[in-house]
Amino acid sequence: MSSQVHGAQKFDKAKRAETVFSEEAMKTAQTIISRYPEGKQKSALLPILHLAQAEFGGWLSPETMDYVASILKIRPVEVFEVASFYTMYNLKPMGKCVLEVCQTSSCWLNGAEDIVKYIEKKLNIKVGETTKDGMFSLKVAECLGSCGTAPMLQCGASYHENLTYEKVDAILETYKNEGRLRSYTDLDYKNTL
Amino acid sequence: MGRKLLIHNDHVPNIHTLEVYRAHGGYASVEKALKTMQPDQVTDEVKKSGLRGRGGAGFPTGMKWSFLAKPEGVPRYLVCNADESEPGTFKDRYLMEKIPHALIEGMITSSFALGAKQSYIYIRGEYFYVARIVEAAIAEAYAAGLLGKNILGTDFSHDCSVQVGGGAYICGEETALLESLEGKRGNPRIKPPFPAVAGLWGCPTVVNNVETIAAVVPIVNMGGEEYAKIGVGKSTGTKLISASGHINKPGVYEIELGITVEDFIYSDEYCGGIRNGKKLKAVVAGGSSVPILPTELILKTAKGEPRLMTYESLSDGGFATGTMLGSGGFIAMDEDTSIVKNLFTFSRFYHHESCGQCSPCREGTGWMEKILKKFLDGTANESDVDLLWDIQSKIEGKTICPLGEAAAWPVAAAIRHFKHEFIEIAQKKKFVDISHYDRLNKIRA
């Protein structure tokens, strides 16, 4: 949205040819499309973009967006205008674990800024940056609906709430050891409510 | 103990499963409505109940339903607004996560009343894991014949599915939500036509909040008149309140509308008072969009009467001395809180979430954030307070959707009730500690 700035990414024909959903992902995509009346398959765009982001490395390249357009039989620009509007879609490569720290009122009242500073220091990056090893990106987020369990951060599908410095240490340690891409579509979410 | 109708079973182990939910009386409203009632009778009960939209606007639900156009041969839709994004609000998340079948039951019963063969639950993208929980519950309902063709052997067939959003506060506005559900940017539509006439894919559509739809279940079970006996005046029934901020017991509470604000803040049944023995400074009673009130005005109206947790009592005195129940996002702040800094987090939020369609909102929210930043940086002067007031007054009422008002009201209220804080900073008598202070260590100590 308004505060997001996107660099122009180049379209690569060879990469586009390689961009194909796995059989399982394709099945999920078809299930999503079947929820809407015939001819209204464009409605499936938001959920399928989530699926594509998880499938193709945690961000939406021009090739990925072009591929999604071909599945839904819509124009690539219709995909781009949506992908660039919503905050959860990354239009540039990110770290494997994107840490999104909520910073709105209740979280701020409960020390969200301290959490952000702590992570910045610990990972030696600033908000908006990615660690050199490509493991972590740090973002700030607006209200994630965790006000009663503030401060909190989201990473992929997991909500980490009632944060303390010790909890942050443990989260980073676990994620680093596991070393895999974390997506919103992950099934092994952890929530601490 | 107040009466609970929505989350009374939230402590029951495995209440998220169909088996346990049914063992505790779940899906009785579907049985009752589909087998013994006509669709219009269900709508009548909702009308009699006095239920008002729980998403924030408080519009009478029965009336909204009766506006639904019913042209021959055109499908009608029920869409559940689960895009809960109003800062301070997390009640729908709690309800869906703990008791997802309460929502699905309400969807089926409401769809029967509206004659909708298909419904969608639009859940904010960040709640992806909540969507998983709701989807699992939907699958259970299908397997048990509670969704799909000829539900419970009746003539009524209904399909229900979930859609996740992509991260945008604006999609909580019903026409933006419909745009998003159609796979587009969340730009609100110009009204009229209202969704009741031309909603999803141009078809008649009712959009209701999660809690509103869940409330249809007890209304059908107990009857609208019984439901209306709970509460005070036009604020009937129970309401989920998300309590957060500097209170001893943050969380989601179901209250009978009509308890006093003082009771809600200080009794052990609810918030349990202010943390660390501090004094209460201010409250945002209904989500970030509603006017903030200082302690003396939130506990008592300007007339000196105790303020109640009802639509009417909270708005008593208009915006001069009152506020709104809104979404029930209740944020309490202690005596050490900088109202200016808190307002900055709100203004930053609205600037980030403005969809950019209307200039007063797109530009105004940015300017408000920018000027408030000057207060934090210590570079503001007294005229900036007037400028801030001027900008907010030029947003209100000049935009397609209410995000403009939602951004303007908190600024107006903060200046109205806490102008001295802005002035003190502008006169360099006081500074906002940008880092606040080490809250976290203090709290956890």
Q: With respect to residue A49, please indicate whether it lies within any of the assigned structural domains.
A: yes
Q: Residues B376-394: what's their mean pLDDT?
A: 95
The pLDDT of B351-370, averaged and rounded, is 97
CB-CB under 8 Å, B440 with A165: yes
Taking an 8 Å cut-off on Cβ atoms, the answer to whether B126 and A145 are in contact is yes
CA dihedral B293, B416, B318, B256 (to 10 degrees): -10
The mean per-residue pLDDT over the stretch B263-284 comes to: 97
Nearest chain B residue to A42, by CA: B183
Give the pLDDT confidence score for residue B443 in this predicted structure.
Answer: 42
Q: Which of B206, B229, B252 is where one domain is finished?
A: B229
Q: Which helix (H) or strand (E) holds B332?
A: strand B329-334
Report the pLDDT averaged over residues B171-190. 98
Looking at chain A from residue 88 to 127, which residues have their Cβ under 8 Å from any Cβ of chain B?
A: 88-89, 103-106, 108-111, 113-115, 117
Answer yes or no: is pLDDT of A52 > 80. yes
Do A57 and A111 sit in the same domain of this protein? Answer: no
In a domain? residue A88: no
What are the residues facing B232 on neighbouring strands?
A: B235
Total domains present in chain B:
3
Interface size between A and B, measured as CB pairs under 8 A? 194
Determine the pLDDT at residue B77.
Answer: 98
Contacts of B183 in chain A (CB under 8 A): 42-46, 72, 74, 78, 82
Cis amide bond preceding B193, omega within 30: yes
pLDDT (0 to 100) of residue A9? 73
Residues of B in contact with A159 (CB under 8 A): 129
| Candidates B345, B349, B444; nearest CB to A164 | B444
Buried-exposed string B63-83: b where 16+ CB fall within 10 A, e elsewhere:
ebbeebbeeeeeebbbbbbbb
Q: Is residue A184 part of a domain?
A: no
B225 lies in the same domain as B256: no
Would you place residue A8 in the very low, low, confident or very high pLDDT band (cuts 50, 70, 90)?
Answer: low
- Containing domain of residue B317, as a range? 236-334
Say yes or no: A124 and A79 in one domain: no
Which of B368, B444, B376 lies closest to B406 in space, CA to CA?
A: B368
Shared domain check, B328 and B346 = no
Q: Which residue, chain included where needed, has tokens 């900088």?
A: B338
**Which tokens hold the place of A76?**
């690539």
The whole-angstrom separation of Cα A112 and Cα A116 is: 6
The reply to whether A115 and A53 lie within a common domain is no
Structural domain includes residue B12: no
Scanning A142-171 for CB atoms below 8 A from B yields 142-151, 154, 157-159, 164-165
B145 with B184: CB under 8 angstroms?
no
Helix (H, G, I), strand (E, B) or coil at B201: helix
CB of A50 within 8 Å of any CB in chain B?
yes
Q: Would you say residue B335 has pLDDT above 70?
A: yes
Kindly state whether residues B220 and B268 are assigned to the same domain: no
Same-domain pairing of A62 and A130 = no
Which residue has 């999803």 as its token pair?
B200
Partner-chain contact B125 A104, CB within 8 Å:
no
For residue A17, what are its two tokens? 């040819």
Task: Return d(Cα B140, Cα B130) in angstroms, integer.
Answer: 16
CB-nearest to A109 from B164, B246, B362 is: B246
Chain A residues in contact with B87 by the CB 8 A cut-off are 104-106, 142-143, 147
Which stretch of DSSP H or E encloses residue B419?
helix B403-426
Closest alpha carbon to B118 in B3, B237, B199: B199
Which pLDDT score is estimated for A178? 94
Whether residue A101 is found in the same domain as residue A174: yes
Return the sign of the alpha-carbon dihedral for residues B214, B218, B220, B225.
negative
Instruction: Spell out which residues of chain A touch residue B181, defining contact as CB-CB under 8 Å.
Output: 43
pLDDT at B436: 47
- B175 and B89 housed in the same domain: yes
Residue A159 in 3-state DSSP? strand
At B77 the three-state DSSP class reads strand
- Greater confidence (A6 vs A157) lies with A157
DSSP one-letter string for B234-261: TEESEEEEEEEESBSS-EEEEEETT-BH
Q: Of B229, B254, B280, which marks where a domain is finished?
A: B229
User: What CATH number is attached to the domain comprising A117?
Assistant: 3.40.30.10
Of A151 and B444, the structure prediction assigns the larger pLDDT to A151
Whether A6 is covered by a domain: the verdict is no
Instruction: State whether residue B96 is helix, strand or coil.
Output: helix
Nearest-CA distance B226 → chain A (Å): 32
Mean predicted confidence (pLDDT) in B93-111: 98
**Claim to verify: residue B305 and residue B394 sit in the same structural domain:** no
Is the same domain home to B105 and B209? Answer: yes
**Is B65 part of any domain?**
yes
In a domain, A55, yes or no: yes
CA distance A51 to chain B (A): 11
CATH for B242:
3.10.20.600
Distance from CA of A145 to the nearest CA of B (A): 5
Asked if A76 reaches chain B (Cβ–Cβ under 8 Å), the answer is no
For A48-56, what is the mean pLDDT?
A: 98
Q: Give residues with Cβ within 8 angstroms of B192, minimum separation 6.
A: none
What is the average pLDDT score of chain B?
Answer: 95
CA distance A155 to B237: 37
For A36, the token pair is 């809407």
Q: B67 and B197 share a domain?
A: yes
What pLDDT, on the 0 to 100 scale, is given for residue A188?
Answer: 84
Shortest CA distance to B175 belongs to which of B184, B163, B165, B188?
B188
User: Quick check: helix, strand or coil at residue A59?
Assistant: coil
| A65-A66-A67 Cα angle (round to 5) | 90
Name which of B94, B125, B435 is nearest A184 (Cβ-Cβ): B125
Q: Tell me, what CATH number does A52's domain have?
A: 1.10.10
Cβ-in-10-Å burial (0-12, 13-18, 19+) of B427 comes to exposed
Burial of residue B134 (CB within 10 Å: 0-12, 13-18, 19+) is buried
Residue range(s) defining the domain that contains residue A167: 97-178
B71 part of a folded domain: yes
Number of domains in chain A: 2
pLDDT in tens, B229-268: 999 999 999 999 999 999 999 999 999 999 999 999 999 9
Which of B90, B170, B249 should we substitute to test contact with A (largest number of A Cβ atoms within 10 Å)? B90
A70 and A101 together in one domain: no
Say how far apart CA A58 and CA A94 lie, in whole Å. 7
Do B288 and A157 count as a contact with CB atoms less than 8 A apart?
Answer: no
Residue B341 has pLDDT above 50, yes or no: yes
**Alpha-carbon radius of gyration of chain A:** 18
Same domain for B31 and B166, yes or no, is yes
Whether B201 maps to a domain, the answer reads: yes
* Candidates A81, A86, A157; nearest CB to B167: A86
pLDDT tens column, A118-156:
999 999 999 999 999 999 999 999 999 999 999 999 999
B271 and B416 part of one domain: no
Does A8 contact B at CB distance below 8 Å? no
* B428: exposed, middle or buried (Cβ count in 10 Å: 0-12, 13-18, 19+): exposed
* Domain-located, residue B80: yes
Q: What is the CATH number of the domain that holds B66?
A: 3.40.50.11540
Task: Examine the domain organization and report whether A67 and A135 are in the same domain.
Answer: no
pLDDT at B184 over 60: yes
Question: Half-sphere exposure of B62 toward its Cβ, with a 13 Å CA cutoff?
Answer: 18
How many angstroms separate the CA of residue B170 from the nearest CA in chain A?
Answer: 10
Residues of A in contact with B77 (CB under 8 A): none
A184 touches chain B (CB under 8 A): yes
B2 in a structural domain:
no
Enter the tokens of residue A175: 């994620």
What is the residue-averaged pLDDT of chain A? 93
Query: Is residue B8 assigned to a domain?
Result: no
Residue B315: the pLDDT is 97
Interchain CB distance below 8 Å, B186 and A114: no
Q: Does residue A17 sit in the same domain as residue A77?
A: yes
Domain presence at residue B396: yes
Residues A74 and A110 in one domain: no
From chain A, the residues in CB contact with B126 under 8 A are 88, 141, 144-145, 154, 184
The pLDDT value recorded for residue B268 is 97
pLDDT of res. B269 = 96
A59 touches chain B (CB under 8 A): no
Q: Which two tokens stand for residue A155?
A: 């990473």
Q: Could you tell me if A105 and A163 lie in one domain? A: yes
B168 shares a domain with B42 = yes
Q: What is the pLDDT of residues B196-234, one digit of tens each?
A: 999 999 999 999 999 999 999 999 999 999 999 999 999
Find out whether B191 and B179 touch, Cβ atoms under 8 Å: no
What is the C-alpha separation between B208 and B137, in angstroms, rounded?
20
The percent of residues above 70 in pLDDT, for chain B, comes to 96
Q: To the nearest 10°, report the CA torsion of A21, A27, A32, A35.
A: 150
**What SS3 class is residue B159?**
strand
CA B214, CA B5: separation in Å to the nearest integer? 9
B344: domain CATH number is: 1.20.1440.230
Q: What is the mean pLDDT of residues A72-80?
A: 97
Which residues on chain B are in Cβ contact (under 8 Å) with A117? 435
Q: Could you tell me if A103 and A169 lie in one domain? A: yes
**Does residue A101 sit in the same domain as residue A173?**
yes
Give start and end residues of each alpha helix (H) in A36-86.
Answer: 45-55, 62-72, 76-83
When pLDDT is cut at 50, 70 and 90, the band that residue B167 belongs to is: very high
Residue partners of B399: CB distance under 8 A and separation at least 6: B357, B358, B360, B361, B405
Q: Which residues of B279-300 are buried (b: 16+ CB within 10 A; e: fewer)?
A: ebbbbbbbbbbbbbbbbebbbb
